[in-house]
Amino acid sequence: MKPIIPLVALATSCLVLSCASDSHEADEGVKGTLHSAITDRDVDIDVDHGVVTLEGKVNTEADRERIENLARQTAGVVAVKDNLKVKLPTPGDFGAIPGSAPLQAAPPLAVVPQPPTVVTAPVEAVPVPAEPAPPIVLVPNTPTVQIQPITVTDQIAAERIAQQIDHDAVPVPQPDHVIITVNSGNAFIKGSVDGKSEHDELLASVQRAGGLNTIYDQLVVR
């Protein structure tokens, strides 16, 4: 009679190899699905026995949550290890957030060597704008931040900035006011904030609103 134990061991080994192969193929399928859904170039995805590990950097906290939720909702995923880092824009760096307006230092004040000469002349009518300047836009939960559009076109950008600041829940300086003037697609931010973190968060929020050419940072950090 032939020994049974070697046959059992052989069968067990084949079963283990088959399971390992099936698990690898399943992981590769999940990885391919995730790469199709998550196109962020700085995000690395690894799958091991259904456990997804996310590595890399994303622009915002909203991007991190979006990627983690996509991974958790993908068929075949049993767990997610989220090691993603959120990178905040550095004030003064151009292109800190893709598609956002560059930050620039406040333009220097014009130097007038002497007062202009006053010339007496007949009074001329001052041209009146065809339409009045739009009203100040207030952030719903941030009354100390006011946004003043200069034209109707600027009002669209002003409302978008207000919505973004409200969505980001940017810390508000008290009792001082921050005035954001939107003129011809440029944003001029004036006022004072309590610290560098508040300064950076406000600038980042205005950047995320989009649709601006240039942001002039004229904020004072107390």
Distance between alpha carbon 189 and the CA centroid of its chain, in Å? 18
Which of 66, 86, 106 is at the close of a domain? 86
Residue finishing a domain among 52, 86, 120? 86
Q: What are phi and psi of 3, to 5 degrees?
A: -65, 140
Domain membership flag for residue 141: yes
pLDDT at position 34, please? 86
Q: What is the pTM of this model?
A: 0.44
Domain count, the chain: 2
Burial classification of residue 112, based on how many CB atoms lie within 10 Å of its CB (0-12 exposed, 13-18 middle, 19 or more buried) = exposed
Q: Do 151 and 217 share a domain, yes or no?
A: yes
pLDDT tens digits for 164-178?
A: 888 888 876 665 678
Return left, alpha or beta for 99; rule: phi > 0 is left, psi -120 to 50 is alpha, else beta. left
Mean pLDDT value across residues 13-27: 64
Residue 107 has pLDDT above 50, yes or no: yes
**Of 47, 71, 86, which one is at a domain's C-terminal end?**
86
Residue 106 CA: distances (Å) to CA of 39, 68, 77, 161, 172: 36, 39, 50, 19, 21
Residue 52 has pLDDT above 80, yes or no: yes
The answer on pLDDT for 122 being more than 80 is no
Match 């052989």 to its residue by tokens: 10
In a shared domain, residues 69 and 146: no
Closest among 187, 220, 183 to 205, alpha carbons compared = 187
